[in-house]
Amino acid sequence: MSTEKAVDRSLMTQRSAFWRCFLVFKQLLGLSSRDHSSWVNRLLLVFLVNGVLIVASMLVGAGYISLQDSLSFLRSLVIAPASIQPAEQLPATVSVVMETIRWPRTLAAILAGGSLGLAGALMQRITRNPIAEPGLLGINAGAALGVVAAIVFFAAEAGFPYMVGALIGALAGNMVIVFASHRVQAPISPLRLVLVGIAVNATGQGLTAMLLLTKQTVFDQFRFWILGSLAGIELDRVFAVLPFTIIGIVVALLLVRPLAALQLGDASATALGHHPNRTRLALSLVIALLAGSAVALTGPIAFLGLLAPFLARMLVRESTQGLLLMAFGLGSALLLAMDILGRWIMQPFEMPVGSMLVAVGAPLLIWLVRSKRLQPMVPGGRRS
C-alpha cells in the first residue's frame, strides 16, 4: 500500500510540475481562451505545413531519395539510432546526403526564414510602416558587409566570427536608418524611411562588392552566398547561429506587452508604465540579432521580412504575440518552399533562394505601394 501511495505522489508531483511549466509558457505567450479560438489553431496549421515542407525538402535534390528513407532519417533524429532495427538502417550514400546536405539546409531555412519573418514583423510594428523589412531597408546589406569585412580584414571563419560581423553590420545599418529617418516629435514617414533604407542598402551592397573584388578567393567562395543561398551550409554553422536565434525569439516574446503599448502612441505607452525609447532600443537590438543571424547563415535575403508579416496580418488581427509567432512560422515556411522550388525547377542544378524570393516579393511590393495598405499602421486596440 505504501508503494502505491508513493507512486501516486510521484505522478501528482510530475503532473504538477508539467502544469506549472504550461502556465509559465502560457503566461509568456499571453494566451487566453479567446486567443485560442482566434489564432492558435491557425498557427498550429502553419507549423503543420512546415512539417510537410521539411519532408519535401528532404526529398528534393539532385539525387533520388525515397519517401521511406526520408521519413526513416527524420525519425532517427527523434528516436535513438540504437532503437532502429537493422533492416531499417539507411544506405550509406543516402545517410551521407541526408546528414551533410539536405538536413543542414532544411534546418537553416527554418531558422533563417523564421528569423527574417519575425524581424520584419517587429520592424513594421515599431515603425508602424507596412513595408519596413530588413532586406528592403538595408539591415541585411549591413549584416552582409559586416561578414565580408570580417573575412577580408580579420580572416574570419564560418560560425561565431560570421555572427559577430553580421551583428555589428546589422546594428550599424539599423541605427543609421532609425536616426536618419526620424524627426523630433513626429512619426517616422514611410517615404523617408524607404528613401533612407534604399540609400543604406545601396551603400552596403556597393561596399560589399568592392571588398569581394579585392580578393578573388573570397569572391569565388561567396558569389552565391551574396545572392542569398542555402547551398553548402554545414551543420556546424547552423548550431553556431542557433543560440542567437533562440535569444532573439525569447526576448521578442518578453517584449510583447511594451510593443503592443507602442501602437497606442508614446504618451499612452508611458501612462501604462512602459518606456517607449527603451522598448524601441531593445527591439532594434533584437531585429539586428535576428537579421544578423540569418545573414550569417544564408547571405542577404530580401523581401522575406515583407512577405511573412503581410500574410501574418491576414491571419492574426487581434494579438501581438500571435502576429509575431505567425510571422516566424510563415517566414520559415516561405523560405523552405522557395528553396524546394528552386531545387526542383532546375534539377540537377538549383536557383538561389534569394532570387526566388525577389521574383515573388517585388510584385507584392509594387502592389503595396499602389494600394491603401501603405498607410502607417496604427492598430489601436490590439491586445498585449
- What is the DSSP code (8-state) at residue 372? G
Contacts of 101 (CB under 8 A, 6+ apart): 61
Count Cα neighbours of 276 within 13 Å in the Cβ-side half-sphere. Answer: 15
Which CATH number does the domain housing residue 144 bear? 1.10.3470.10
Q: Determine phi and psi for 174, rounding to 5 degrees.
A: -65, -45
Domain-embedded: residue 240:
yes
Model confidence, pTM? 0.82
Q: How many domains does the chain have?
A: 1
Distance CA 260, CA 215 (A): 47
Give me the tens of pLDDT residue by residue for the chain, a chain 384 residues long.
455 454 345 445 544 544 554 454 445 444 444 545 578 889 999 999 999 999 999 999 888 888 888 888 888 887 654 444 443 567 888 888 898 999 999 999 999 999 999 999 999 998 888 888 898 888 999 999 999 998 888 888 777 888 899 999 999 998 888 777 766 556 566 677 778 888 999 999 999 989 988 887 777 767 777 888 898 898 998 999 999 999 999 999 999 999 999 888 888 888 888 888 889 889 989 999 999 999 999 989 988 999 999 999 989 987 899 999 999 999 999 999 999 999 988 877 888 898 888 888 788 778 876 775 555 444 444 444
Domain-embedded: residue 342:
yes
Find out whether 334 and 301 touch, Cβ atoms under 8 Å: no
Q: Tell me, what amino acid is at 9?
A: R
Domain-embedded: residue 137:
yes
Q: Tell me, what amino acid is at 209?
A: A
Residue in this structure with the C-alpha cell 502505491, named with its chain if needed: 4
Domain-embedded: residue 75:
no
Distance CA 340, CA 178 (A): 35
Contacts of 364 (CB under 8 A, 6+ apart): 303, 306, 307, 310
Domain-embedded: residue 122:
yes
Domain-embedded: residue 381:
no
Find out whether 227 and 135 touch, Cβ atoms under 8 Å: no
What's the farthest any 2 CA atoms get from each other in the chain? 79
Give residue 266's domain range.
98-374
Residue in this structure with the C-alpha cell 523630433, named with its chain if needed: 184
Domain-embedded: residue 329:
yes
Please choose, from the candidates 349, 355, 247, the residue with its C-alpha nearest in 3D space to the C-alpha of residue 299.
355
Domain-embedded: residue 35:
no
Looking at residue 333, its pLDDT comes to: 96
What count of other Cβ atoms lies within 10 Å of the Cβ of residue 18?
Answer: 10
Q: What is the length of the chain?
A: 384
How buried is 281 (Cβ within 10 angstroms: 0-12 exposed, 13-18 middle, 19+ buried)?
middle
Looking at residue 47, its pLDDT comes to: 94
